[in-house]
Amino acid sequence: MAKKESLRKIKDEVLSLEGFPLCDERRKNNVYPVIGEGSHDADVMFIGEAPGEREAATGRPFCGRAGKILDECLQGIGFKREDAYITNIIKDRPPKNRDPLPEEIEIYAVFLDRQINIIKPKIIATLGRFSSEYILKKFGMEEQIMPISTLHGKPIDTRADYGPIKILPLMHPAVAIYNRKKEKELKEGFSFLKENDCCDL
């Protein structure tokens, strides 16, 4: 119950944010912030970059085209989506799905940091360049930052405040929308979760 209440508090705080362009955009378009969903006791937390149009319309992470590909990747390794916790760094949709700006990451990352400390995942799987770079910097591993195509599917050991964790950088599922040749490589990156029985850590 404590985790649920703590996560609800984050949602309330994001909803009440004022004076930031993305919040104004949300209210103007009558859409939702996307806080996160899934198991509050998840061993694996997936972190994307920012909500897309479908996500902002529903308030759910990864429920559009990229979400369908994420679901396929998880189904391919026998991993249930509801056993993970899924969120983004940015909680409100950037206009026209543009890349998040540094100042936007700074504003919203404080909520992500709190989500990590509430959920206490054993594996943080980052989806895309921005989330990978943020998480590696957060854990003092700037020297590990490389192109996401190089990092994809290669776990990195580190420590969180609550104990040892692994960071698993992954390409964003949207890569397979724009380049179907990347689909096989994308799915292969998820194999680490299956090989290590991550749900049963």
CA distances from 161 to 70, 167, 174, 179 (A): 28, 14, 31, 38
* Residue 187 DSSP code: H
pTM, 2 dp: 0.94
One digit per residue, pLDDT tens: the chain, 201 residues? 699 999 999 999 999 998 889 998 899 999 999 999 999 999 999 999 999 999 999 999 999 999 999 999 999 999 999 999 999 999 999 998 899 999 999 999 999 999 999 999 999 999 999 999 999 999 999 999 999 999 999 999 999 999 999 999 999 999 998 888 889 999 999 988 887 655 444
Domains of the chain: 2-200 (3.40.470.10)
**CA–CA gap between residue 98 and residue 100 (Å, rounded):** 6
Distances (CA, A) of 141 to 73, 138, 158, 167: 27, 7, 9, 10
